[in-house]
């Protein structure tokens, strides 16, 4: 599940990120200090927006109303220090209305409810079918970590495990274009899981990915797009 945090207080955003890190299926695809900055991050198609109400410029209630007008609106969890907005807030059909300081148990319970996709979300989000032994699993895009080309097969690394499939990287890159970005001709990673870009003593660039122990090589051809995608997630922090 891809989450966007919108709050004008850096400490509040940092606390939410820490609390969300407990759930490995949640990927924070961006942070914003106001709704104008949040607007630029909607290209990541978040499944969930954790939204403060009192912020400079447009407030969270107005932004929530605009989010509801999207073809596939994200789930909304209001996070605020002001209980008096609750009545107006629920007009936007939020998953929950959490008062600061946010309690971990309340947030996790709200995440469980946010996981129930709307019919529009079910029709919109692609899923990857995995055959593991005698079992078949439908893998949500948010659960993907990396996809690596290995000999005749493709290795899919996801939250909780990995599997070999026959689809090519090119097929998966096209199907999951909103979620996966190419690092190299042999690798794709989830956009929201890139945590750092670094340049080694050998002059090669690599990306550190949430869920992987070792950084992955970035080709010169892919580097500009990877840099732009990574900068986009940090632009409003």
Q: What is the domain count for the chain?
A: 2
Residues 83 and 190 in one domain: no
Q: What average pLDDT does the structure give for the chain?
A: 89
Residues 139 and 92 in one domain: no
pLDDT tens digits for 65-102?
A: 999 888 778 999 999 998 888 888 887 789 899 999 99
Predicted confidence (pLDDT) at residue 236 exceeds the cutoff of 50: no
Predicted confidence (pLDDT) at residue 125 exceeds the cutoff of 50: yes
**Short-list 72, 123, 73, CA closest to 93:** 73
Predicted confidence (pLDDT) at residue 189 exceeds the cutoff of 70: yes
Residues 44 and 132 in one domain: no
Task: Give the predicted TM-score (pTM) of the model.
Answer: 0.55
Q: What is the pLDDT of residue 141?
A: 86
| Structural domain for 111, as ranges | 2-122
Specify whether the backbone of 170 is left (phi greater than 0), alpha (psi in -120 to 50) or beta. alpha
Q: What is the pLDDT of residue 152?
A: 85
| CATH number for the domain that contains residue 47 | 3.40.50.2300
Residues 57 and 114 in one domain: yes
Answer with the residue of higher pLDDT: 230 or 181: 181
Predicted confidence (pLDDT) at residue 119 exceeds the cutoff of 60: no
Predicted confidence (pLDDT) at residue 23 exceeds the cutoff of 80: yes
The token duo for 105 is 């148990």
Q: How far apart are the first and last CA of the chain?
A: 20
Predicted confidence (pLDDT) at residue 232 exceeds the cutoff of 60: no
The burial class, CB within 10 Å (0-12 / 13-18 / 19+), for 210 is: middle
Stretch 17-26: mean pLDDT: 88
Residues 7 and 117 in one domain: yes
Give the number of other CB atoms < 10 A from CB of residue 201. 5
């Amino acid at each position: 599940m891809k989450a966007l945090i919108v709050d004008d207080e850096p400490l509040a955003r940092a606390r939410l990120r820490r609390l969300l890190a407990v759930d490995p299926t949640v990927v924070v695809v961006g942070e914003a200090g106001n709704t104008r900055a949040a607007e630029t991050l909607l290209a990541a198609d978040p499944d969930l927006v954790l939204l403060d109400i009192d912020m400079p410029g447009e407030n969270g209630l107005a932004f929530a109303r605009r989010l509801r007008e999207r073809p596939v609106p994200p789930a909304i969890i209001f996070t605020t220090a002001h209980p008096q907005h609750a009545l107006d807030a629920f007009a936007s059909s939020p998953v929950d209305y959490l008062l600061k300081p946010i309690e971990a148990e309340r947030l996790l319970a709200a995440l469980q409810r946010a996981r129930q996709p709307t019919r529009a979300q079910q029709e919109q989000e692609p899923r990857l079918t995995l055959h593991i032994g005698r079992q078949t699993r439908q893998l949500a895009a948010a659960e993907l970590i990396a996809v690596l080309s290995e000999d005749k097969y493709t290795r899919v690394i996801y939250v909780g495990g990995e599997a070999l499939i026959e689809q090519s990287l090119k097929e998966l890159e096209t199907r999951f274009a909103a979620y996966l970005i190419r690092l190299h001709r042999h690798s794709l990673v989830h956009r929201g899981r890139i945590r750092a870009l670094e340049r080694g003593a050998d002059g090669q660039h690599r990306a550190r990915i949430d869920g992987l122990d070792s950084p992955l090589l970035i080709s010169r051809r892919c580097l500009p797009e990877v840099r732009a995608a990574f900068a986009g997630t940090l632009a409003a922090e």
